[in-house]
């Protein structure tokens, strides 16, 4: 990993090197401009910041602990492993950091109708929670295939007052849910706010969502300095769209001695259609309004993805990750379905903590990395969500 990278030499707002941008239909250019302007204004407004901080603390449960996983550390025999406990947040995942920020922004902008996409349902649930708390109307697009796989989350969204629209187009998963949400937004731009769930899509979303999620890294950096007296050797997080990883990476970007590892879903294998690892197995392209790395065939059609964890099951990735990879500031690797399942079991049994299958990918790599480091080193892994939602899937694969 490069030690002298200039990770923040972004060429202009909304661009991360050549990645990012606004590759959208003309009708969305004006609402994106209005969104950027509103975000720039409110994100500097002390009363907005105070209100959001209050919600994050008292509604969502921040700050989250940085927990030394001593049993896991002992088991692995190497660097000390710290878990950033985003799994303890309201809703069970880091998603709420972003939905509270954007829902509050939407409210300030005078928008009352909120639309969102969801894959596994975690962002949909977090959107429904934030909207209920702030008195906004939520409508969530979800692939019909995902609705079958994640029935419990569909029920949670409905219970929280959200309307769930099944998406029957394309592969009927997250990518198609984003397509459908964009189509809704193009149609209802005047009164609708699109609450995107990750650091993907057209500018300003990758920047705005990163800012809302960067609270994770800000806390973690302060906590590790308090607990260890020095910075960790590495920070590890899973990457689907990439919001929890960018959120924890961001505060460490200038700490060039801290290695950053993003873990993509290796699925069954790295063959086409068998994984969800655009940075490792894809190439540059444009999808959902951004220039980034995309899993696609030779003629530019977006490929189907596969991962045991629905939250990583996406053929694109946040443009800032594409930049951090090509600038060699962060390293991106894969962990397979099997590796994630093994880590799910390990963390559950060693620490009494069931990780989300997404986060289990990061746990798996962390265990490998910890083994290769000395006992004086430490690693922070972002435990981005809890695993209750995945118990059924895990039970199917790990019969015991």
Q: Annotated active-site positions, please?
A: 95, 117, 384
> Whose Cβ is closer to other proteins: residue 97's or residue 305's?
305
Q: What is the 3-state secondary structure (H, E, C) of the chain?
A: CCCCCCCCCCCCCCEECCEECCCCCHHHHHHHHHHHHHHHHHCCCHHHHHHHHHHHHHHHCCCCCEEECHHHHHHHCCCEEEEEEHHHCCCCECHHHHHHHHHHHHHHCCCCEEEEEECCCHHHHHHHHHHHHHCCEEEEEEEHHHHHHCHHHHHHHHHCCCEEEEECCCCCCHHHHHHHHHHHHHHCCCCEEECCCCCCCCCCHHHHHHHHHCHHHHHHHHHHHHHHCCCCCEEEEECCCCHHHHHHHHHHCCCCCCEEEEEEEEECCCCCCCCECHHHHCEEEEECCEEEEECECCCCCECCCCCCCHHHCCCCCCHHHHHHHHCCCEEEEEEEHHHHHHHHHHHHHHHCCCECHHHHHHHHHHHHHHHHCCCCCEEEEEECEECHHHHHHHHHHCCC
| Of 189, 205, 61, 50, nearest in space to 115 by CA | 189
> Whose Cβ is closer to other proteins: residue 102's or residue 179's?
179
The binder of other proteins chosen from 107, 233, 288, 329 (CB under 8 A)? 288
The binder of other proteins chosen from 128, 239, 302, 324 (CB under 8 A)? 302
Among 19-27, 109-117, 132-140, 363-371, which window interacts with other proteins (CB under 8 A)?
Answer: 19-27
23 lies in the site for other proteins, by CB under 8 A:
yes
> Whose Cβ is closer to other proteins: residue 33's or residue 49's?
33
Q: How far is the CB of 175 from other proteins (least distance, A)?
A: 7
53 lies in the site for other proteins, by CB under 8 A:
no
31 lies in the site for other proteins, by CB under 8 A:
yes
The binder of other proteins chosen from 3, 44, 299, 399 (CB under 8 A)? 299
> Whose Cβ is closer to other proteins: residue 27's or residue 70's?
27
> Whose Cβ is closer to other proteins: residue 286's or residue 350's?
286
Beta bridge partners of 284: 293
Residue 257's CB: how many other CB atoms inside 10 A?
A: 12
287 lies in the site for other proteins, by CB under 8 A:
yes
How many chain residues touch other proteins (CB under 8 A)? 35
Question: What would the x/- binding string for other proteins be over residues 186 to 225, using CB under 8 A?
Answer: xxxxx-----------------------------------
> Whose Cβ is closer to other proteins: residue 92's or residue 197's?
197
Q: How far is the CB of 372 from other proteins (least distance, A)?
A: 38
The binder of other proteins chosen from 24, 167, 335, 341 (CB under 8 A)? 24
Q: How far is the CB of 186 from other proteins (least distance, A)?
A: 6
298 lies in the site for other proteins, by CB under 8 A:
yes
Q: How far is the CB of 113 from other proteins (least distance, A)?
A: 14
Which residues have a Cβ under 8 Å from the Cβ of 245 and sit 6 or more positions away? 237, 238, 239, 262, 321, 382
Question: What would the x/- binding string for other proteins be over residues 154 to 193, using CB under 8 A?
Answer: ---------------xx----xx--x--xx--xxxxx---
Q: How far is the CB of 277 from other proteins (least distance, A)?
A: 18
> Whose Cβ is closer to other proteins: residue 189's or residue 270's?
189
300 lies in the site for other proteins, by CB under 8 A:
yes
Q: How far is the CB of 24 from other proteins (least distance, A)?
A: 6
Beta bridge partners of 383: 85
The binder of other proteins chosen from 7, 21, 101, 385 (CB under 8 A)? 21
Interface of this chain with other proteins, residues 56 to 85, rule: CB under 8 A: none
378-383: strand order across its sheet = 66-68, 80-85, 378-383, 234-238, 259-267, 330-336
> Whose Cβ is closer to other proteins: residue 186's or residue 256's?
186
| Spatial distance between the Cα atoms of 384 and 388, rounded to a whole number of angstroms | 13
132 lies in the site for other proteins, by CB under 8 A:
no
Q: How far is the CB of 293 from other proteins (least distance, A)?
A: 12
| Spatial distance between the Cα atoms of 122 and 8, rounded to a whole number of angstroms | 30
Catalog residues that contact other proteins under the rule CB under 8 A: 21-27, 29-31, 169-170, 175-176, 179, 182-183, 186-190, 284-289, 294, 296, 298-302
């Amino acid at each position: 990993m490069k030690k002298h990278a200039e990770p923040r030499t972004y060429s202009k707002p909304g661009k991360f090197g050549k990645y990012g941008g606004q590759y959208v239909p003309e009708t969305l250019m004006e609402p994106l401009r209005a969104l950027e302007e509103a975000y720039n204004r409110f994100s500097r407004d002390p009363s907005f910041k105070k209100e959001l901080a209050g919600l994050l603390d008292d509604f969502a449960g921040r700050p989250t602990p940085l927990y030394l996983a001593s049993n896991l550390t002992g088991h692995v025999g190497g660097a000390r492993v710290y878990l950033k406990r985003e799994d303890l947040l309201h809703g069970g995942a880091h998603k709420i950091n972003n939905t509270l920020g954007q829902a509050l922004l939407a409210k300030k902008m005078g928008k009352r109708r909120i639309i969102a996409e969801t894959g596994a349902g975690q962002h949909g649930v977090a959107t429904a929670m934030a909207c209920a708390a702030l008195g906004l109307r939520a409508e969530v697009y979800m692939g019909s295939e995902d609705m079958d796989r994640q029935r419990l989350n569909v029920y949670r969204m409905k219970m929280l007052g959200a309307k769930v629209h099944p998406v029957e187009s394309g592969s009927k998963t997250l990518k198609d849910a984003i397509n459908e949400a964009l189509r809704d937004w193009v149609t209802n731009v005047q009164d609708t706010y699109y609450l995107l769930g990750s650091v993907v899509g057209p500018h300003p979303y990758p920047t705005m969502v990163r800012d809302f999620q960067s609270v994770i890294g800000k806390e973690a950096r302060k906590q590790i300095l308090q607990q260890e007296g020095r910075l960790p050797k590495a920070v590890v997080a899973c990457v689907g769209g990439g919001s929890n990883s960018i959120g924890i990476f961001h505060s460490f970007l200038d700490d060039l001695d801290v290695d950053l590892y993003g873990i993509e879903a290796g699925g069954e294998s790295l063959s086409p259609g068998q994984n969800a690892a655009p940075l490792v197995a894809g190439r540059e392209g444009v999808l959902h309004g951004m220039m980034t790395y995309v899993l696609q065939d030779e003629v530019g059609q977006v490929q189907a993805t596969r991962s045991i964890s629905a939250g990583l099951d996406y053929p694109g990735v946040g443009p800032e990750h594409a930049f951090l990879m090509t600038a060699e500031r962060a390293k991106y690797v894969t962990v397979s379905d099997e590796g994630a399942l093994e880590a799910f079991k390990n963390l559950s049994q060693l620490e009494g903590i069931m990780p989300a299958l997404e986060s289990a990918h990061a746990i798996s790599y962390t265990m490998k990395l910890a083994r290769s480091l000395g006992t004086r080193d430490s690693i922070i892994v972002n435990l981005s969500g809890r695993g209750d939602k995945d118990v059924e899937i895990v039970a199917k694969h790990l019969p015991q």
